C-alpha cells in the first residue's frame, strides 16, 4: 500500500467544446471519499480522467510519488489504480470464471500477481456462480463480479462509479460491507454515487459535485442532517 494520497488539482476537462470539469480539486487518503452529484454533473468524466480514459486540458493528478496526469491507463493500473465503471461493463456471454481468468491473466502480464482466492473469499457467492454467464447474473452478482475483476489487479486505490445503480437494497448492503472490509485492509476508496444514503454509509467525507465543480466538501453525518443543502445541491425533495 502506498502511504501518500491521490491528489487532484484544479482539473479541467473538455468533451468536444463543452467544458465539463471546471477545476476539480480533491484528495483521497486513508478514509474513503464519496463524490455525490446529480445526473450529468461530471462524475463519470472525473473517474474516466483519473483512469486515463479522458485527457485533462489542465490541472494535475498525483498518486503517491507519481504524477499520472498524462500517463496511459495501463501504467496507472500498474501504480495501483483500479476502476469499476458505471454500468459494470461485463461481457454478457462470458462466464464468471472467464471474467476472472481474463483479469488475472491481464494482471500477470503486467506483473501484478493477482489472487483469485482472495476475491472469492471476499465474494464467496461468485465461487458458486463460476459457470454462469454474466448476462444471467442478478445486478448484485454482476456488481460483485465487476469489483472482483478490478481487485485482481491488486489495487491500492479503487474507484467505483455508481456501484449501487440498479441494485436491490440487500445487494447494496452486501456491497457496502465488502467495500468496508477492503477499506479496513488499507485500500483507498473513491466512490461516486447519486445515492446519498449509500455514499454516507461508506464514506465519512462527501464531496458534492455540481456542474463540473466540487462545490462543497462536508462530513457525511452533517450533510445527512441538512435537508436544505441536499435540496440545493442534489435537488432532493424534502
Non-local (6+) Cβ contacts of 139 within 8 A are: 166, 167, 168, 171
Cβ burial, residue 118 (10 Å; 0-12/13-18/19+)? middle
The contact pattern for ligand ATP, residues 41-80, with x = CB under 6 A and - = no contact, is xxxxx-----------------------------------
Going by the DSSP 8-state scheme, the letter that residue 67 receives in this structure is E
- Residue 178 interaction partner, one of Mg ion, ligand ATP, none, beta carbon < 5-8 Å per kind: none
The x, y and z cell numbers of residue 96, run together, are 464468471
Which range, of 23-31, 36-44, 119-127, 225-233, touches ligand ATP by CB under 6 A?
A: 36-44
Which range, of 64-72, 81-89, 129-137, 174-182, touches Mg ion by CB under 5 A?
A: 81-89
37 lines the binding site for ligand ATP (CB under 6 A)? yes
**CB count in 10 Å sphere of residue 157:** 22
Q: Toward ligand ATP, which CB reaches closer, 13 or 104?
A: 13
Q: How far is 177 from 160, CA to CA, in rounded Å? A: 14
Which residue carries 493500473 as its cell? 77
Residues at the site binding Mg ion, with contacts judged by CB under 5 A:
43-44, 86
Residues at the site binding ligand ATP, with contacts judged by CB under 6 A:
15-16, 18, 20, 37, 39-45, 86, 194
Amino acid at each position: 500500500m502506498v502511504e501518500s494520497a491521490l491528489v487532484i488539482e484544479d482539473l479541467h476537462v473538455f468533451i468536444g467544446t463543452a467544458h465539463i470539469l471546471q477545476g476539480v480539486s480533491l484528495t483521497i487518503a486513508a478514509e474513503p471519499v464519496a463524490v455525490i452529484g446529480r445526473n450529468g454533473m461530471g462524475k463519470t468524466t472525473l473517474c474516466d480522467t483519473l483512469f486515463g480514459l479522458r485527457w485533462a486540458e489542465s490541472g494535475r493528478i498525483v498518486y503517491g510519488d507519481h504524477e499520472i496526469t498524462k500517463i496511459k491507463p495501463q501504467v496507472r493500473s500498474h501504480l495501483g489504480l483500479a476502476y469499476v465503471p458505471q454500468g459494470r461493463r461485463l461481457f454478457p456471454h462470458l462466464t464468471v470464471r472467464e471474467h476472472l481468468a481474463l483479469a488475472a491473466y491481464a494482471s500477470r502480464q503486467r506483473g501484478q500477481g493477482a489472487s483469485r482466492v482472495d476475491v472469492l473469499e471476499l465474494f464467496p457467492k461468485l465461487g458458486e456462480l463460476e459457470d454462469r454467464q454474466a448476462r444471467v447474473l442478478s445486478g448484485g452478482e454482476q456488481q460483485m463480479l465487476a469489483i472482483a475483476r478490478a481487485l485482481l489487479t491488486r489495487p491500492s486505490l479503487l474507484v467505483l462509479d455508481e456501484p449501487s445503480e440498479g441494485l436491490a437494497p440487500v445487494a447494496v448492503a452486501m456491497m457496502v460491507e465488502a467495500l468496508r472490509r477492503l477499506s479496513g485492509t488499507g485500500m483507498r476508496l473513491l466512490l461516486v454515487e447519486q445515492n446519498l444514503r449509500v455514499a454516507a454509509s461508506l464514506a465519512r467525507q462527501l464531496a458534492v459535485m455540481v456542474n463540473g465543480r466540487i462545490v462543497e466538501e462536508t462530513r457525511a453525518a452533517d450533510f445527512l442532517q441538512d435537508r436544505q443543502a441536499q435540496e440545493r445541491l442534489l435537488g432532493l425533495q424534502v
